[in-house]
Structure 1
Amino acid sequence: MLKENLESVEEKIQEACKKSGRNREDVTLIAVSKTKPVETLQEAYDLGVRVFGENKVQELTEKYDSLPKDIHWHMIGHLQRNKVKYIIDKVDLIHSVDSIRLAETIDKEAQKHDLIANILVEVNVAKEESKFGLMPEEVDGFIDEIANLKHIQVKGLMTIAPFVENPEKNRTVFADLRKLSVDIAKKNVDNVNVSILSMGMTNDYQVAVEEGATMVRVGTGIFGARNYAQV
């Protein structure tokens, strides 16, 4: 089942790249493995998956200790400041930075480990009350404010689009995030590189790729329905 699911997702990403005139190499597939046991992740690893996304710090650290060390871990869920220290030296990328205080905490913990933490700024493009993230009009000022932190580097933007039956409804959300990244890139802010656009999940990643996603976060499409009893 896992092998077939991965092949299906891969095929759809390739289709979307072809449709939008993009190279497949420009899109990173993040296997969202929250609530899934280590055995399932190992199976995905054996099938070639090397990039995994986790929502919870405790789950990420436990899996980090149990699985091969060439895995690239991404923290994609909401991150509390008091949990940053547990993952700062374990993750390649933190997708969900949406406050000055969180950025400052990441900077401080990264300094302790003498590393540069790569982050994405989370944007609530659709302005949903239930979602985390900055409003689009806040992003410019936010980036200006955190650009001088020496131990983080802004690598791009992330959004969680609304859950919709018809993925076409999210096309404007993805297009708006891409436009925002273009506007930020034009400003040439030091220490800011907005080459990454993390957008699109199981139900809409093809549309996201067509609109410029460089990372898609696919969980159910790869692993099947989540077991919430384990959350």
Structure 2
Amino acid sequence: MIESDETNEAVDSRAERLAANWRAVREDIALAARNAGRDPAEVRLVAVSKRHPASDIAALARAGQVDFGENYVQEVASKQEELQNLPVHWHFIGGLQSNKAKFVAGRFELIHSVDSLKLARVLHNKSQSLGCTQSMLLQVSLCGEEQKCGVEPDALDALVEEVLGLEHLRLCGLMTMPFAGDDPEAVRPVFARLRSLRDGLEQRFGVSLPELSMGMTGDFVQAVEEGATLVRIGTRIFGPRL
């Protein structure tokens, strides 16, 4: 009985810490938005819950968090099954290979990391077979790092034209992963460039691309100030990954 009480106290303490971290991040997002003359409601927080247990997601959902980001197909499938009764939205934010895409289509509100026509076609075909339309973003490589996934800017128009022709995909905007560094101001131009690329695509193709997924724990303030509508934050909420 004592052990059970201690376990419950530990769970409650963890939930309280997560909720406090979450509220602090939301306050920082709101402040960054207001400083940029934006409505804080324009920015959605995607809590990056990869490698954290389903109990953490449940605790944050009870606090009011809605959007959760995951990277690994098997891990998220287990969480979705366990948490199927919670009112949460799932985002796939990790690198995605075409041989795994069929397991992702239809399971996520938004896929952030589409970076090739081959991948887009696999997602489209699977979505078609499921009778659904999959919302997605194109990941753009803006830092010249080979290890970073993403379509190069000079190939973006051609990919957008092809994706817009796939009726079971809904292109909602762009995503980028900036280079890692200690100075968040150093990546501000990357965020500004992504916004500029999005604006140009809207004009050239006559479409609305409302979403810009950019900014993580170390640089989300700069991302919000440059127009992010989705910020992907894990460590500041959950602490170090398991």
TM range (shorter): over 0.9
Q: Distance in 2 between matches of 1:58 and 1:40?
A: 18
How many residues are matched? Answer: 225
2:142 is equivalent to residue 114 of structure 1: no
Which secondary structure does the structure 2 equivalent of 1:91 belong to? coil
Stretches of 4+ moved more than 3 A in 1? none
**Which runs of 5 or more residues in structure 2 are unaligned?**
1-16
Q: How far 1:69 sits from its partner (Å)?
A: 4.3
Picking from 148, 162, 171, the partner of 1:154 is 171
2:22 is equivalent to residue 6 of structure 1: yes
CA RMSD in angstroms, aligned pairs only: 1.1
Q: How far 1:8 sits from its partner (Å)?
A: 1.2
2:94 counterpart letter in structure 1: G
Q: Does the 8 Å contact 1:32/1:217 carry over to 2?
A: yes
In structure 2, the residue matched to 1:217 is 232
Q: Which residues of 2 match residues 15-164 of structure 1 at below 5 A? A: 15-67=31-83, 68-164=85-181
Q: Does the 8 Å contact 1:61/1:86 carry over to 2?
A: no
Q: Distance in 1 between matches of 2:109 and 2:43?
A: 16
In structure 2, the residue matched to 1:169 is 186
TM-score (norm: length of structure 1): 0.94
1:198 counterpart letter in structure 2: S
Q: Does the 8 Å contact 1:200/1:209 carry over to 2?
A: yes
Q: Distance in 2 between matches of 1:179 and 1:2?
A: 35
Identity across the alignment (%):
41
Q: How far 1:79 sits from its partner (Å)?
A: 1.2
1:102 counterpart letter in structure 2: L
1:83 counterpart letter in structure 2: K
**Which runs of 5 or more residues in structure 1 are unaligned?**
none
Whose radius of gyration is greater, 1 or 2?
2
Q: Distance in 1 between matches of 2:174 and 2:63?
A: 29
1:165 counterpart letter in structure 2: D
Q: How far 1:86 sits from its partner (Å)?
A: 2.1
Q: How far 1:71 sits from its partner (Å)?
A: 1.0
Deviation track 1:2-21 (CA, whole Å, cap 9, x = no partner) reads: 12211110111011011100
Which secondary structure does the structure 1 equivalent of 2:237 belong to? helix
